[in-house]
Amino acid sequence: MIKLYQKYSVSLYLKNFFIIFIALEFFYVGVDVITNFKDLPSSANLQILYVVFNFLTAVNYVLPISIIFAMITTKFHMIRTNELVSLYSIGVSRNALIKPIFLTALSIVFVYYGLNMSQFSYSYEYRSNILDNARLGSTSSELFLKHDNQYIYFEELNPYKQEVLDVKIFDIEDNELKSAISAISAKYISDEWVLQDVQIMTKPEIVSQNVAISIKMQDELAVLRGFRPSIIESAHQGKKSLSIPDAIEAIKFFKDQKVNIVPFKSNLYLMLFFPLYAPLMVLILYYYLPISGRFFDLALMSFVFVFIGLVGWGILYIVGKFSANSVISPEIGIILPIVFLSTLAIYLYRKNA
């Protein structure tokens, strides 16, 4: 059962979180819009969409900082009003006071996980498409990819509409061409590509004057199951922005193709482990907060805690980018720092039990 002081601390924390989060969101979007105002398309609809996708993009940078800043603001408010020392004096332990706030911060991170399961993960790409191409979706031309023993050529891919034009699939076995499939267009439906107006050419096992190449026409043909448009575009353009399900599928898909999967692993680890930095830092910084402001300069102390939170976030973000570019292993650059912070947080929690 949640006690009254826990309800109060959580409500105060959430109020500070939303104030800081919204303020930082507007600051990020405002600066970006002012910077790129001259490059925005003339269409009012695209301008509105650009602002919306900018808000969504900003969440990735603003959310962890807001979670940490909200805890610092909440606790320093309780220090100034002597609420913190009053709670301690009536027997409330440090762990009992921080536990609901930590769980609230963790819940916010789980909401962020849910967002990264959707098209939210591609908001930066949509924003960039509007700014660079004056349209929401982008197209990739002349893609040539390998899948198992098949070599695939797409003349044009539109990942937003999930369709391609002019498809050619060559089936190679023992360095010999066995068959060739061509289609005017294809659409990604139910986790597979459905080709339209298909021509299938099959070479005979033994080439002779009496045996000709077999040509078969079909209206539709389902091929390349699980080969998602977002995965194709990421492999072709070297993009590392994927949703959690697409990142997992990309790792599974390209692992068997002997393709470098480090960028996809880094992308997945950044979405799964990097957000945990915020609630862990909430727990760690809390135990170093002063109980009373009588012997401390609270303005200076709050600046120090904000600075530590920002520097830690910045270092982890930079190391994560190094991992995404294969400079260092993603396990070392992303998972190891989170494991270290988790260990420190658990130690401090048990120490104050």
| Max CA separation in the chain (angstroms) | 100
- The answer to whether position 123 is within a domain reads no
pLDDT recorded at residue 23: 95
Q: How far apart are CA 60 and CA 77, in angstroms?
A: 27
Paired with 211 in beta bridges are: 208
Task: Annotate 89-110 with b (16+ C-beta within 10 A) or e (fewer).
Answer: eeebebbebbebbbebbbebbe
User: What stretches of 117-169 show up as alpha helix (H) in DSSP?
Assistant: 123-133
- The answer to whether position 245 is within a domain reads no
**pLDDT score of 240 more than 60:** no
pLDDT tens-digit series, residues 125-160? 888 878 877 676 666 777 777 777 778 888 888 777
Mean pLDDT value across residues 236-252: 73
Mean pLDDT value across residues 189-205: 82
Mean pLDDT value across residues 95-123: 90
Give the domain extent around 37. 4-118+266-351
Are 187 and 272 found together in one domain? no
Q: Cα–Cα distances in Å, from 331 out to 112, 246, 264, 353?
A: 22, 20, 12, 31
* DSSP assigned state of 213: P
**pLDDT score of 319 more than 70:** yes
- The answer to whether position 255 is within a domain reads no
Are 227 and 155 found together in one domain? yes
Are 96 and 13 found together in one domain? yes
* Total-model pTM: 0.82
Are 142 and 227 found together in one domain? yes
Tell me which amino acid residue 343 is.
Answer: T
pLDDT tens-digit series, residues 123-132? 888 888 788 7
* Full strand arrangement of the beta sheet holding 140-147: 140-147, 150-158, 163-173, 176-189, 192-202, 214-223
- The answer to whether position 126 is within a domain reads no
Strands (E), the chain: 140-147, 150-158, 163-173, 176-189, 192-202, 214-223
- Of 180, 208, 231, the residue that ends a domain is 231
Are 96 and 149 found together in one domain? no
- The answer to whether position 303 is within a domain reads yes
- The answer to whether position 51 is within a domain reads yes
Closest C-alpha among 84, 88, 97 to residue 292: 84
Are 14 and 90 found together in one domain? yes
Closest C-alpha among 6, 51, 46, 43 to residue 25: 51
Are 150 and 109 found together in one domain? no
- Of 181, 213, 231, the residue that ends a domain is 231
Are 143 and 114 found together in one domain? no
Are 141 and 82 found together in one domain? no
Mean pLDDT value across residues 171-186: 82
Q: What are phi and psi of 73, to 5 degrees?
A: -60, -45
Q: How far apart are CA 101 and CA 7, in angstroms?
A: 10
Q: What are phi and psi of 276, to 5 degrees?
A: -70, -15
The distance from CA 154 to its chain's CA centroid, rounded to whole angstroms, is 27
Are 110 and 142 found together in one domain? no
Q: Cα–Cα distances in Å, from 28 out to 19, 44, 62, 120, 328?
A: 14, 20, 8, 17, 30
- The answer to whether position 248 is within a domain reads no
> In total, how many domains does the chain have?
2
Structure-token match 């830092």, residue found: 281
pLDDT tens-digit series, residues 253-304? 777 666 677 778 888 888 899 999 999 999 999 988 877 667 667 778 888 8
pLDDT recorded at residue 19: 95
Across the chain, mean pLDDT equals 83
Written as one string, the DSSP assignment of 43-63 is -HHHHHHHHHHHHHHHHHHHH
Extract the tokens encoding 184.
Answer: 């005017």
CB atoms closer than 10 angstroms to residue 27: 12
Tell me which amino acid residue 237 is.
Answer: Q
Tell me which amino acid residue 35 is.
Answer: T
Q: How far apart are CA 189 and CA 105, in angstroms?
A: 38
Contacts of 123 (CB under 8 A, 6+ apart): 53, 56, 57
Closest C-alpha among 281, 275, 274, 276 to residue 71: 281
- Of 209, 231, 253, the residue that ends a domain is 231
Residue 234 confidence class, pLDDT cut points 50, 70, 90: low
Are 12 and 91 found together in one domain? yes
Are 274 and 191 found together in one domain? no
- The answer to whether position 328 is within a domain reads yes
